[in-house]
A = this chain, B = another copy of it.
Amino acid sequence: MKIDDRFYMQLALGEAWRYQGLTYPNPAVGCCVVKEGRILAVEAHHKAGESHAELWAMLAAYEALEGREAAVDSADADAVYDFLQTVPEELFRGVSLYVTLEPCAHHGRTPSCAWALSRFPLHRVVVATADPIPGHGGGLEILADHGIEVATGVCEEEARELLEPFLIWQERAFVLFKLAQTTNGRIGGGYLSSPESLEHVHRLRAVVDELLIGGSTVRTDRPTLDCRFVDQKRAPNVCIYSRQNEFDRSIPLFGVSDRQVRITDDIEPLLDRPSFLLVEGGEGMLKALQDRIDWLLLYQTPKLSAHPLSYNVDQKLKYLHHASIGVDLILWSRFE
């Protein structure tokens, strides 16, 4: 195995993927901090409004170098920014950062990462890809103006895949189709997933703009479609895709408070709107939306099953990322 720039960037990418989708409307970003080959920190952006990856990672690097915890909430961007202002510059001399995306240049909901970094005598800041949003960017320039060596393009393809949802949901709906299956592709037979997978779905539900589900799944499964596993009060609005308007209103999803439910057979307007759309359903929904699905999110559980329910569709994929989640496998793919 080669221990090079790509190795450190892969660590940053892997950490970022843990929060893919969950950072909506922000992009998923990861950061690895290295000093003379020693990995000090690998962190990621968790959630919009909270610290960016660079702030998380610089705080963790501070703690690694000092051997003690800082009395500051890592998620609180303003607090971390202010804390980093008080750190002696020399502590980070010779430190390199590997960031999956160019550090932000302007103070938005959170302070500018490029400015936060620029006061330190860093060795290098390596980014996988420049900020793709026109008018943003400039972070590398700020760093270079402060005499920090910058480099770009390390693992650029992987970083662009990581960013893809972010780029799509600026323009139109990013359509993420979620499925839970056995290792041999069966989707029936009750709850299939580990508690960690179920929790992950609920975290996604808590951030998406709308949850799209097929009418037949609603009738068969009688789901609740809330976020109860993550203690999140806000349940997503639900759009039921159905030609038929009649539903048994005792199906739990209709009883969730603070939620809108609508039933429609025309989802085109939904797909055109810049947003994050999570789709839950089976074969019918997969086929109905096949040309409009961006990514498939698969929770694959460690069993083989003789249950007859599967899904029949021809579709080329590209695997983007896989990881363990509890005893399951989480697999992100692009519809090609």
Copies of this chain, tallied across the complex: 2
B304 close to A313 (CB less than 8 A): yes
Residues of B within 8 A of A302 (CB): 316-319, 333
CA gap between A324 and B328 in the complex, in Å:
16
Closest-CB distance, A284 to chain B (whole angstroms): 14
Whether A331 sits at the interface, judged by CB under 8 Å, is yes
- Whether B333 contacts A183 by the Cβ 8 Å rule is yes
CB <8 Å contact, A311 and B322? no
CB distance A314 to B319 under 8 Å?
Answer: no
A184 touching B183 by the CB < 8 A rule?
no
Q: A324 near B322 (CB under 8 angstroms)?
A: yes
* In the assembled complex, A29 has its CB within 8 A of some CB on chain B: no
Closest chain B residue to A39 by CB distance? B3
**Chain B min CB distance to A200 (Å):** 16
A319-B315 contact given A15-B1, A183-B298, A184-B181, CB 8 Å threshold: no
Q: Is A329 an interface residue (CB 8 A)?
A: yes
Q: Which of B11, B317, B331 contacts A303 (CB 8 A)?
A: B317
Shortest distance between the CB of A55 and any CB in chain B (Å): 16
Min CB distance A227 to B, Å, is 26
**Does A41 sit at the interface, judged by CB under 8 A?**
yes
Chain B residues, CB < 8 A from A303? 314-317
Kindly state the separation between the CA atoms of A315 and B301 in the bound complex, as whole angstroms. 11
* A110 interface residue (CB < 8 Å to B): no
Instruction: Indicate if the CB atoms of A304 and B329 lie closer than 8 Å.
Output: no
| Inter-subunit contact A319/B310 (CB<8 Å) | no
Q: What residue of chain B has the Cβ atom nearest to residue A304's Cβ? A: B315
Whether the pair A305, B314 counts as a contact (CB closer than 8 A) is: yes
Binary interface profile of A, 19-44, with partner B (CB < 8 Å = 1, else 0)?
00000000000000000111111110
A165 in the interface, Cβ–Cβ < 8 Å? no
A133 at the interface (CB under 8 A from B): no
Among A185, A316, A322, A327, find the residue whose CB has the most chain B CB atoms closer than 10 A. Answer: A185
Which residues from chain A sit less than 8 Å from chain B, CB to CB? 1, 3, 7, 11, 15, 36-43, 64, 181-186, 298, 302-306, 310-319, 322, 324, 327-329, 331, 333
Closest 7 CB pairs of A and B: A185-B185, A37-B38, A184-B185, A302-B317, A1-B42, A306-B312, A304-B315
